[in-house]
Amino acid sequence: MYLKSIEITGFKSFAKKSDLTFASKVSSIVGPNGSGKSNIAEAFRFVLGEQSMKSMRGKKGEDMIWNGSSEMPKAGKASVKVVFDNSSRFLPLDFSEVTLERVVHRDSVNEYYINGSQVRLRDVIELLAGAHIGASGHHIISQGEADKILNASVRERKGMIEEALGLKIYQYKKIESIKKLEKTRENIGQVESLRREIAPHIRYLKKQVEKVEKAIEFKNELLGLSVEYLKREDDYIKQAHQEIVEKKTPLLGEHRQVLVSIETVKEHLKNAEHKDAKSSELISLEESIFTIRQRKDTAVRDIGRIEGEISSQMRLIKKQEELARSNEWKTVQLRAVEDLHAQVFDLIGDLEHATDQQKISSSIQTVKGLLKAFVEMHRDTVDTTLIKEAESEIQKLGDERSVLEKNIDAVSREENEARAQYEALKHSIEKEKDTNREAEKELFVLMSREQNILSDIKTYETQESRVRILEDDFKRELTELSMLLGRDVLAFGEKHFELREGREAQEERRRKIEKIKIRLEDSGGVGGGETVKEYEEALERDQFLERELTDLSSTAESLGILIGELDTKIASEFTVGVEKINRQFSEYFAMMFGGGEAKLSVIREQRAKKKSDLDDLSPTPGIGEDEEVEEGEAGIDIEVSLPRKKVKGLIMLSGGERALTSIALLFAVSQVNPPPFIILDETDAALDEANSRKYGDMIETLSKFSQLIVITHNRETMSRAGALYGVTMGQGGVSKLLTVSFEDAVAVAK
């Protein structure tokens, strides 16, 4: 025996604590009508988790609590506690005795306890389902519910049979698996949505990272070329300076000596007693030529400076033109972007509450067109501000150069005139054989020598000017490369390149450097560390979501397999169970009716097929045609055939015949998969004396498989019990229990 006792406190008419101990296979509860004996059956329903207040003859949880009387105040709560002998471990708990308790308070709050520990209702249901026990069903049968299985629909009847066969535990698992599958699919949808959301950002970041990686390649290539270029250029400039200095320095010294000699001769001529007009003219011409030469040298130097600046501006223009040919560096006015934003924002704003799909699609196409037109319009737009500024500067420098060139032309004419006078005077003096002209002739030689020296110095100064331009270009290049490549490029001085080469190779190297710099700037420069980090984080997030998606898909697949296996198991055990029930049902039915046949059959409900909208528009629907039907869910139908009567269906049975049929079926169901205990609440009320004996025989048979608690008025049923419990009710409306021994019960029954 599994059921040991039940303790009822404050539940309905049991105002005081009442205990029933079940020590017999069949225990009978008797008492007059209205004494509260059926409340004991409802107490079992209550403690086993029944949620329908209607099945316990109430409307709300408060109706389950003793409501008070003139002799006893109302209770604040109701509790029912049932104790099971679990030595056989029919309940999946490692305890020899299991106590199940339910408490309801007046605010309808329910509490559930297993062995004193508070648990959820779900825990209670799952615990009992494994032992084929539930809050209601085949093991708690009330007087008005004996006929329930016959009156139920085929689908509801199938559910009752499944519960009786112990398939509820599998159905709970199936329902839980379906819920988990739905949640998993929902999570899959959310993860896929997240991946779709971040995919465009990852693609964008990937392109940016590719640019960064390309920039790193360009940087490394540029660094190698730049180091060699800078080293060779630095060596070339230093060597050129050194060679010019080595050749120019002696000439400068010699020029100083010649100037000193000229000054000496000039002083001699000024102080000579026999000096004449020609001597004075010679001195004046020498001073004039010297002054003109200085003016001309200054103008030439200024022109060199201007040409250097023009060359620098030309390089700037060339660089800006190369940048302009690259789409990466196109610029757009903020006003144009704001106008585009306003147009797109207005279109999107109109769609926030739009439901017309055609309008939505049209607006999306309009937005696409605006964006495409905007890009095409600005694709060839170039910011020429710097180019225009450089061209303006070149124009200004060109004007200055033109002025200087005119000055040089004028100075050159003056120089030529002075030189012509000088040559004429020289020729005149050289014709004279007077020894007094030796000083003038010496001055002619010195001035001629000075002219030659100045010509050589001028050559080296021109070379020096070109080297200075190269040096300025070198410094600008070094500054620009330092900004692009950092401190690494400054280590060029530590490198050594022994191979001698012409300037053409260095110039080609410089052109390559300029091209790589343009490409490097097109790719966004050498930064992008934050972009790479953001890309790695986004990629890691996507990979995590991909792994999660794989896990969820695997879980969904496993749950699908589990649901399929549960369906197969439920279907298989249901088929086998129905066959077993049919054998017992046929036997009990024949016993109750003295013959005849009865069986359960699995059918599918037939229902009208839903018509389409076009069918509803038909002017004469269904005329001349049978209505189409489709199969619904599976269910259980009951087929009976009474002996000596032409009765073939449940609808033709009388009230007594329905009662006997339902009892036969319920007992058959209980015997196929016996629950630990069965409670029968006046199910024999409609039986006559002959059928009561058959009912009693069936109880004795059934008691071999399940412990029985029978609430009855029938003396025949009482006689089959091993213990009797009497229920009485005093004037205060409180139910009280009285235990009667078997011998006394027999005397009462007689």
**Quick one: residue 293, left, alpha or beta (phi over 0 = left, psi -120 to 50 = alpha)?**
alpha
Structure-token pair, residue 742: 């078997």
Task: State yes or no: pLDDT of 446 exceeds 60.
Answer: yes
Question: How many Å apart are CA 342 and CA 349, to the nearest integer?
Answer: 10
Question: How many Å apart are CA 92 and CA 127, to the nearest integer?
Answer: 7
- The set of residues, in sequence order, having a beta carbon less than 8 Å from that of 308 and lying 6+ positions away, is 468, 469, 472
Q: pLDDT tens for residues 685-721?
A: 878 887 888 888 888 888 888 899 999 988 888 888 8
Alpha-helix runs per DSSP H in 352-380:
357-379
Tell me, what's the pLDDT at 624? 47
587 or 432, higher pLDDT: 587
509-537: average pLDDT:
80
Q: Which residue from 120, 106, 48 is spatially nearest to 77, judged by alpha carbons?
A: 106
Tell me, what's the pLDDT at 673? 74
Tell me, what's the pLDDT at 620? 45
Structure-token pair, residue 374: 């905007």
Structure-token pair, residue 220: 């490394």
Q: How far apart are the first and last CA of the chain?
A: 29
Structure-token pair, residue 703: 């008691």
Tell me, what's the pLDDT at 148? 77
Return the domain boundaries, the chain: 1-139+675-750, 184-330+382-522
Highest mean pLDDT (candidates 73-82, 333-342, 371-380, 638-647): 73-82
Task: State yes or no: pLDDT of 493 exceeds 90.
Answer: no
Tell me, what's the pLDDT at 116? 93
Q: What is the largest CA-CA distance in the chain?
A: 191
Question: How many Å apart are CA 154 and CA 151, to the nearest integer?
Answer: 9
Tell me, what's the pLDDT at 142? 77
Task: State yes or no: pLDDT of 613 exceeds 90.
Answer: no
Tell me, what's the pLDDT at 84? 94
Question: How many Å apart are CA 48 and CA 124, to the nearest integer?
Answer: 8
CA 76-80-82 angle, to 5 degrees, is 160
Task: State yes or no: pLDDT of 206 exceeds 70.
Answer: yes
Task: State yes or no: pLDDT of 433 exceeds 60.
Answer: no
Residues facing 737 on adjacent strands: 727
185 or 647, higher pLDDT: 185
Task: State yes or no: pLDDT of 485 exceeds 70.
Answer: yes
Highest mean pLDDT (candidates 431-445, 459-473, 611-625): 459-473
281-285, 293-297, 536-540, 699-703: segment of lowest average pLDDT: 281-285
How do the residues of the chain divide into helix, strand and coil, expressed in percent and rounded to 5? Answer: 65, 15, 25
What distances in angstroms separate CA 739 from CA 22, 27, 29, 684, one per listed residue?
11, 11, 9, 22
Return contacts of 207-211, CB within 8 angstroms, 24+ apart.
Answer: 208/524, 208/528, 208/531, 208/535, 209/528, 209/531, 209/532, 209/535, 211/523, 211/524, 211/528
Tell me, what's the pLDDT at 188? 93
Question: How many Å apart are CA 521 and CA 385, to the nearest integer?
Answer: 18
Could you give the 3-state DSSP secondary structure of residue 323? helix
Tell me, what's the pLDDT at 365? 81
User: Tokens 């235990």 identify what position?
Assistant: 739
451-455, 586-590, 647-651: segment of lowest average pLDDT: 647-651
Tell me, what's the pLDDT at 323? 62
608-613: average pLDDT:
56
CA 8-11-13 angle, to 5 degrees, is 105
Confidence grade of residue 618 (pLDDT, cut at 50, 70, 90) = very low
Q: pLDDT tens for residues 59-76?
A: 888 889 998 887 888 899
Instruction: Answer positive or negative: Cα dihedral of 521, 523, 524, 528.
Output: negative
Structure-token pair, residue 534: 């953001």
Question: How many Å apart are CA 455 and CA 467, to the nearest integer?
Answer: 18
Q: Which residue from 402, 406, 340, 401 is spatially nearest to 367, judged by alpha carbons?
A: 340
427 or 37, higher pLDDT: 37
Task: State yes or no: pLDDT of 391 exceeds 90.
Answer: no
**Side-by-side strand order, sheet with 26-30:** 140-141, 677-681, 707-711, 26-30, 723-729, 735-740
324-344: average pLDDT:
71
Tell me, what's the pLDDT at 616? 52
Please give the share of the chain, as a percent, with pLDDT higher than 70.
Answer: 84
Q: pLDDT tens for residues 647-662?
A: 667 777 777 788 788 8
Query: Residue 342, Cβ neighbours under 10 Å: how many?
Result: 10
Tell me, what's the pLDDT at 621? 45
Tell me, what's the pLDDT at 557? 94
The secondary element (H helix, E strand) that includes residue 76 is: none
Q: pLDDT tens for residues 131-166?
A: 777 655 567 887 666 677 788 888 888 888 887 787
Task: State yes or no: pLDDT of 415 exceeds 90.
Answer: no
Task: State yes or no: pLDDT of 514 exceeds 90.
Answer: no
32-46, 279-293, 383-397, 666-680: segment of lowest average pLDDT: 279-293
Please give the share of the chain, as a percent, with pLDDT higher than 90.
Answer: 18
Radius of gyration of the chain (CA): 58
Q: Which residue from 296, 298, 302 is spatially nearest to 419, judged by alpha carbons?
A: 296
* Per-position DSSP letters for 451-507, written without gaps between them: HHHHHHHHHHHHHHHHHHHHHHHHHHHHHHHHHHHGGGGGGGGG--------HHHHH
204 or 621, higher pLDDT: 204
Tell me, what's the pLDDT at 437? 60
Threshold 0.75, pTM exceeds: no
281 or 596, higher pLDDT: 596
437 or 646, higher pLDDT: 646
HSE, side-chain direction, 13 A CA sphere, residue 56:
28
Which homologous superfamily does the CATH classification assign to the domain defined by 1-139+675-750? P-loop containing nucleotide triphosphate hydrolases (3.40.50.300)
**AA letter at 718:** M
Contact 434, 272 (CB under 8 A): no
Question: How many Å apart are CA 172 and CA 409, to the nearest integer?
Answer: 111
256 or 359, higher pLDDT: 256
Q: Which residue from 479, 469, 499 is spatially nearest to 228, judged by alpha carbons?
A: 499
**AA letter at 672:** V
Question: How many Å apart are CA 157 and CA 148, to the nearest integer?
Answer: 9
Task: State yes or no: pLDDT of 745 exceeds 60.
Answer: no
